[in-house]
Structure 1
Amino acid sequence: MSGDSDALVRVTQQLRLNDFDVLGHLNQAVYHELLEQGRIALMTALGGDSNEFVLARVELDYRREVPVAVREVVVETGVERVGRASVRLAQRIVRPDGELAAEGATVLVGWNRAERSSRALTDAERAALSARLVAAPAS
């Protein structure tokens, strides 16, 4: 993820002892919980409600171990692309020493709770999300 760092939402997350597995590193399921906290922080920063979206896709590449001695990480979240009914987010988990622990992308779809189906993003949502655009990572 590159581009305007002001577009990123960063949230520091404390790690608990039970977040680690018997091998002494962060359990793989916890990474997904951390990404969720990043998505919630982004929606909160935009003045939106994360319950107006559902998760449609997660891509996650593990880059560096988070050992049990690490007590917090930073989750960075930015918008890669805004579609008609969905938004693709770029997300990273960074250790306190600056090492990239994991990176990936998630796709959220606008959700109509009453009809329990997808919906188009509103103009206001599209504008707010577009204000957080970051460059997609090079392939």
Structure 2
Amino acid sequence: MTSPEFRRTITLRRRDMDELGHANQAAYHEFLEEARAAFIADLGVPDARPDAYVLARVELDYRREVRLAHGTVDVVVRVERVGGRSLTLGHDVLQPDGTVAATGRTVIVGWDGEGRCARDLTPGEHAALAAHAT
């Protein structure tokens, strides 16, 4: 059985921090991007490449600060919805002790780089993503 969650540990960098000493809001987007790309690569579907998708929407709710002293964060990725051309992923950014630092969602769309337009998800992508759906 396939796990409905994918988890990626990310080492915090000094450049992720703002002048208040906690992770800048832009760093959270990078955390989500890194975890999404790793999740897609982990699917094991030949046509499920990270560059085969474009980001259409991001929503983030910040709950607790992340400081450099935390060392790492874990980003949890869940497939919430698989459509014909797009999918919705749920995300949690966790401090090392499991405290939720941020929650959010992203919508990504299958991308045809040659035609420069949205494309339908392939049957292989659809099956692999649906196997991870919560």
Match of 1:26 in 2: 23
Unaligned runs of 5+ residues in structure 1 are 135-139
Unaligned runs of 5+ in 2: none
* Alignment partner, residue 46 of structure 1: 43
Q: Where do residues 14-93 of structure 1 align in structure 2 (5 Å cutoff)? A: 14-47=11-44, 48-93=48-93
Deviation (angstroms), 1:71: 0.9
Aligned match of 1:10: 7
SS of 2:34's equivalent in the other structure is helix
The AA in structure 1 aligned to 2:18 is: D
* Equivalent AA in structure 1 for residue 4 of structure 2: A
Separation of aligned partners in 2, 1:13 and 1:78: 17
Kindly state the Cα deviation for residue 5 of structure 1 after the two structures are TM-superposed. 9.1
Task: Give the RMSD, CA atoms, in angstroms.
Answer: 1.4
SS at match of 1:9: strand
Number of corresponding residues: 131
- Maintained 8 Å contact 2:112/2:118: yes
Shift, 1:68, TM fit = 2.8
SS in structure 1 at match of 2:68: coil
- The one-letter amino acid paired with 2:50 is S
Tell me the alpha carbon deviations over residues 2-33 of structure 1, each in whole angstroms, 9 at most, x when there is no partner.
Answer: xx992111010000112111111111100000
> In structure 2, the residue corresponding to 1:124 is in which secondary structure?
helix
| Identity, % of aligned positions | 49
After TM superposition, the score normalised by the length of structure 2 is 0.94
Instruction: Please state whether the residue corresponding to 2:132 is helix, strand or coil.
Output: coil
